[in-house]
């Protein structure tokens, strides 16, 4: 689990330390603390197959949280994460069960998810509507539409290609699914975009101060649109990962994905006010939630306690963010 560097090897004094290093140091300590507690209380926790299971359980929320991080960095919020992802699973499932080529079906469904992100971004940047309201509206529309499309019920999706992300391979002692690898690849790519390119720099600038961004000539609205577009694409990939975990297209699935992804982002140290935080924190945040659920389950504790502890963590994380802002 130590595959997550606190800060990249290059100059720790640079922007890195400011943007990534400092905010994710706290979450990393929390992750290690929970890991230590569970490892001491239950020897089965650190078994490689258990760690593999944690990763697999983290894969969907962990992936959706990438898009959520991008949106929250611009001081927005995405309440349609889960709904867009489910949209992807149902479209891919419907097409494949109607006999279309699985790869093309999946590509089309990723495209539809991207379009959904584009629609959200268009309403937010074009009509200047609050992200909260727009994505809440899309959540409502999609939830109803998906039940209509699938006639209310879930249906099984049995397909080699759609289920591919659930296939496993051995890496050393670990059994990893292709989905987990895909998630890490997405984290690496989007991390690069956020930290090493102008595009990412401008995401932070807009989250910090849209007015300052506009004054230095950043096309703020177009940039916001691109953020929601990319987020939609990532939710589409999330749909593929979801089909790999459970070969089922269910309009009622992933109902807690909104809160879970926001939880991962917030616990990971990204500020709900935008402009601060980063992807490494989000990955750690998603792992904290995964470790917590797994550890408490192993300890035989009622699942309700998992939600309770997660809820406390969210409030603590937001409170710390508020406090640090008040000081600054």
Q: Which residues bind other proteins (CB under 8 A)?
A: 13-15, 17-19, 196-199, 201-202, 204-205, 208-209, 211-213, 215-218, 275-276, 328
Q: Phi first, then psi: what are they for 171, rounded to 5°?
A: -120, 100
Nearer to other proteins, 26 or 137 (CB): 26
Tokens of 1: 């689990």
In angstroms, give the least distance from the CB of 37 to other proteins: 33
Pick the closer one to other proteins by CB: 205 or 239.
Answer: 205
Least separation in angstroms between residue 196's CB and other proteins is 5
Smaller CB distance to other proteins: residue 13 or 256? 13
Closest C-alpha to 285, from 28, 5, 46, 73: 28
Cα four-point dihedral sign 217, 211, 319, 225: negative
Q: Which of residues 15 and 308 has its CB atom nearest to other proteins in the complex?
A: 15
Query: Is 288 in contact with 313 (CB distance < 8 Å)?
Result: yes
Total residue length of the chain: 328
CB of 272 to other proteins, least distance (A): 14
Q: In angstroms, give the least distance from the CB of 321 to other proteins.
A: 12
Closest to other proteins by CB, 17 or 111:
17
Q: Which is nearer to other proteins, 23 or 122 (CB)?
A: 23
Supply the minimum distance, in Å, between the C-beta of residue 113 and other proteins.
24
Closest distance between other proteins and the C-beta of residue 4, in Å?
Answer: 22
């Amino acid at each position: 689990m130590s595959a997550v560097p606190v800060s990249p090897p290059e100059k720790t004094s640079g922007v890195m330390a400011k943007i990534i290093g400092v905010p994710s140091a706290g979450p990393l300590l929390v992750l290690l603390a929970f890991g230590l507690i569970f490892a001491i209380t239950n020897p089965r926790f650190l078994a490689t197959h258990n760690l593999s299971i944690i990763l697999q359980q983290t894969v969907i929320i962990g992936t959706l949280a990438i898009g959520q991080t991008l949106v929250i960095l611009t001081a927005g919020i995405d309440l349609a994460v889960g709904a867009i992802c489910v949209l992807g699973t149902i479209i891919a499932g419907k097409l494949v069960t109607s006999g279309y080529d699985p790869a093309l079906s999946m590509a089309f469904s990723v495209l539809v998810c991207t379009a959904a992100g584009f629609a959200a971004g268009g309403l937010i940047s074009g009509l200047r509507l609050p992200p909260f309201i727009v994505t809440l509206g899309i959540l409502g529309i999609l939830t109803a539409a998906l039940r209509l499309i699938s006639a209310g019920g879930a249906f099984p999706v049995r397909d080699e290609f759609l289920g591919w992300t659930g296939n496993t391979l051995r890496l050393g002692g670990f059994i990893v699914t292709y989905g987990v690898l895909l998630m890490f690849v997405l984290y690496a790519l989007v991390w690069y975009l956020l930290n090493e390119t102008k595009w990412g720099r401008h995401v932070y600038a807009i989250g910090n101060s849209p007015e300052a961004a506009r004054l230095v000539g950043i096309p703020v609205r177009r940039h916001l649109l691109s953020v929601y577009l990319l987020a939609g694409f990532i939710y589409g990939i999330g749909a593929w990962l979801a089909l790999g975990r459970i070969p089922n297209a269910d309009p009622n699935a992933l109902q807690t994905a909104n809160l879970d992804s926001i939880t991962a982002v917030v616990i990971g140290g990204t500020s709900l006010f935008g402009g601060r935080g980063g992807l490494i924190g989000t990955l750690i945040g998603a792992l904290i939630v995964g470790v917590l659920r797994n550890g408490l389950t192993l300890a035989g504790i009622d699942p309700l306690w998992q939600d309770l502890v997660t809820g406390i963590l969210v409030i603590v994380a937001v409170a710390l963010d508020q406090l640090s802002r008040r000081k600054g």
